[in-house]
Amino acid sequence: MKQKIFTLLLISAIGLVSCRKDKFEQNINQYDDSQIQNYISANGITGMQKDASPLDSPGIYYKIIMPGDVASTPLDYPDEVSFVFTLRSLDGKYTAIDTIQNHHEDFLGHLTNDALPYGLQIALRNIVKYKGASARLMIPSHLAYGVSGYGTGSSQNANTKIAGNQSLDYYVHIIENYSTYDEQVIHNNFDVSTYIRKESTLLPGNFYYYKILTPGTGTSPITSASSFTATYTGSLLNGTVFDGSFNGDNVSGSLIVTSLVQGVQEALENNVVVGTKISMIIPSTLGYGNTSAGTIPVNSVLRFTFAIVSVTP
């Protein structure tokens, strides 16, 4: 009897071992690679390459769109880097695709401290490399936010949380010169055919745009020594209003011209008097530059509309 039981146990053990041999268990690197390849195939994406160096960016897929200034020194972690980006999780449940909103600037080696993925940090250093370059990057989950994901709430709610073990589809453009980039952004996002383009007197090579919507009736034009009251609205080029407190009938308190960003100062000094309504588009170089302000991202082009109520002196 004991012999029969032993024989049955032995056969069962052999059967279990045989089953385990037939089952292939993927590790996370293999899972990520399969996830990315399936995404590329399902979306008909072409031209992607896999970075195969185990010491650099293992498992990242990439496509260089613009090579940038390849004659310059490649970026390294102590360098400050400024870029715009779009982001999608491969399951399609998280998207952030507005390059007007998605701006970032910091030292390259600090990007992970800013809650950006480690894979993005090393890809900018080892793959994209140069200022002026742009690329599409697919960051595997083990180099992104791992099993925990990122964000708050449920991953079933769009744009609140990146689910765990999700690889990420990035478009990244490293900015070399914001004067040039801002001009492209303005023309790509706004019809300036009826606006006057004027070079800054304080920062030559940088241009702002303005348009008189309603001519004024006053006799004292705004100068750099003036203060004034107005109704006004400030927005980004995607329509996001960052300052609408003094719109409509809600008149501002006294505004000192020299306390405003440089582009607004110069635009207001173009024969603007009481009663004038003026629209202006201000490049980031004449706005807040690489400093964020409230809900305004770093390096943002700004749009203002002012209706002048009073001018002193």
Q: What domains appear along the chain, each with residue ranges and CATH number?
A: 28-176 (3.10.50.40), 179-312 (3.10.50.40)
Average pLDDT, the chain: 90
Question: Is the predicted pLDDT of residue 6 greater than 70, yes or no?
Answer: no
- In this model, does residue 160 exceed pLDDT 90? no
Query: Quick one: residue 166, left, alpha or beta (phi over 0 = left, psi -120 to 50 = alpha)?
Result: beta
- Is pLDDT at 175 greater than 50 in this prediction? yes
Q: What is the pLDDT of residue 159?
A: 76
Has residue 90 got a pLDDT over 60?
A: yes
Q: What is the mean pLDDT of residues 207-213?
A: 97
User: Residue 147's pLDDT band (boundaries 50, 70, 90)?
Assistant: very high
At 24, which amino acid appears? Answer: F
% of the chain with per-residue pLDDT over 70: 89
Confidence band, pLDDT 50/70/90 cuts, at residue 216: very high
Per-residue pLDDT at 26 exceeds 90: no
- Residue range 228-241: mean pLDDT, rounded: 96
Whole-number pLDDT of residue 24: 55
| pLDDT interval class at 137 (50, 70, 90) | very high
Tell whether the model's pLDDT for residue 226 goes beyond 90.
Answer: yes
Q: What is the mean pLDDT of residues 21-48?
A: 87
**pLDDT for position 11:** 43
pLDDT score, position 55:
59
The pLDDT of residue 156 is above 80? no
pLDDT of residue 21: 44
Over the stretch 283-310, which tens digit does the pLDDT of each residue have?
999 999 999 999 999 999 999 999 999 9
